Structures are given as structure tokens and as C-alpha cells.
């Protein structure tokens, strides 16, 4: 019994030790890569333009824009981004308008459904009243025919 408890205790200790070690490794890696910058990149990989915007040179060559100056290319890219933003705003407005129209359509549909149900209920109520009146009339005619009329039957 004591042996089992001791084994469990040792297993817990080993697990905690492993967690501490993995936490230390994680902290070391975090410290190392947290300070990653253009300067450290120049030393390690000789990449000068780490933080510069990516330019797809093959695509520019394919489109025939490889001879354009970088400043002009940047203005073209800014215009494209602006066009994309305006198009997204326009699409968002269209979507909102479409949703608004769908809501209105649904409300109208519900309103028409309620009107139809009210008409149906009104017709049903009239039929029910007419049925009861016919039943009263039949009852009174049967009572008169069998010779046991009530005073109200003589008025019908």
C-alpha cells in the first residue's frame, strides 16, 4: 500500500519537474525571439529589408510593371488598397440594404399571414354560429313534430 503511494508521489514529482523544465525552455525561447528585430536579422541572415513591404517581382514582370519606380508603384498599390476599401464599403452597404429589405419583406409576410388567419377565424366563427342556429331550428321542428313543443319553438 505504501509502495503504491510512494510511486504516485514520485510520478507527481517527475511530472512537476518536467513542467518546470518545459516552462524554462519556453521562457528562454520567448526571450530569444521577443527581441527579434531588423538589426538582429542583419547579423544572422543578412536580410536588410525585413520590415519592408513585400513586392511580388515575378507578377510585376508578368504585368510589365517591373520598370516602374518604387514610389510610383507604391502610389498604385495605395490606390488599389483604397479602391478595395471603397468596394468593400459599397458591398457592406448593399448587404445591409438587402438585409433591411428582407426584414421588411418578412414583416409584411407575417402581417399578411395574421390577416389571413383573422379572416379564416372570422369565417369559421360565422360557420359555427350558423351551424348552431341550424341545430336549434332542427331541434325545435323535431319537438313540434313529436308533439312536445316548448313555448320558444312556436316563435321559430
State pLDDT tens for residues 4-20.
888 888 898 999 999 99
Q: What is the pLDDT of residue 63?
A: 82
Q: What is the pLDDT of residue 4?
A: 81
Q: What is the pLDDT of residues 30-79, one digit of tens each?
A: 666 665 555 555 555 556 566 667 778 888 888 887 788 888 888 988 99
Task: Quote the pTM value.
Answer: 0.46
Q: Looking at residues 67-92, what average pLDDT do you find?
A: 91
The whole-chain average pLDDT of the chain stands at 85
Distance CA 133, CA 70 (A): 93
Q: Looking at residues 113-120, what average pLDDT do you find?
A: 97
Q: What is the pLDDT of residue 74?
A: 86
Confidence band of 151 (pLDDT split at 50, 70, 90)? confident
C-alpha cell of 60?
Answer: 510585376
Residue 41: burial class (beta carbons within 10 Å; 0-12, 13-18, 19+): middle
Confidence band of 106 (pLDDT split at 50, 70, 90)? very high
Q: What is the pLDDT of residue 37?
A: 58
Residue 38 vs residue 153, higher pLDDT? 153
Amino acid at each position: 500500500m505504501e509502495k503504491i503511494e510512494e510511486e504516485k508521489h514520485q510520478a507527481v514529482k517527475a511530472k512537476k519537474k518536467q513542467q518546470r523544465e518545459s516552462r524554462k525552455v519556453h521562457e528562454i525561447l520567448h526571450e530569444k525571439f521577443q527581441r527579434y528585430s531588423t538589426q538582429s536579422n542583419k547579423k544572422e541572415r543578412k536580410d536588410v529589408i525585413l520590415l519592408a513591404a513585400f513586392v511580388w517581382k515575378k507578377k510585376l514582370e508578368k504585368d510589365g510593371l517591373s520598370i516602374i519606380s518604387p514610389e510610383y508603384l507604391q502610389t498604385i498599390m495605395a490606390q488599389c488598397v483604397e479602391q478595395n476599401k471603397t468596394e468593400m464599403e459599397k458591398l457592406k452597404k448593399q448587404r445591409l440594404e438587402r438585409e433591411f429589405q428582407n426584414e421588411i419583406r418578412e414583416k409584411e409576410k407575417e402581417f399578411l399571414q395574421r390577416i389571413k388567419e383573422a379572416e379564416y377565424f372570422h369565417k369559421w366563427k360565422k360557420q359555427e354560429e350558423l351551424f348552431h342556429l341550424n341545430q336549434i331550428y332542427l331541434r325545435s321542428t323535431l319537438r313540434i313534430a313529436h308533439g312536445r313543443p316548448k313555448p320558444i319553438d312556436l316563435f321559430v
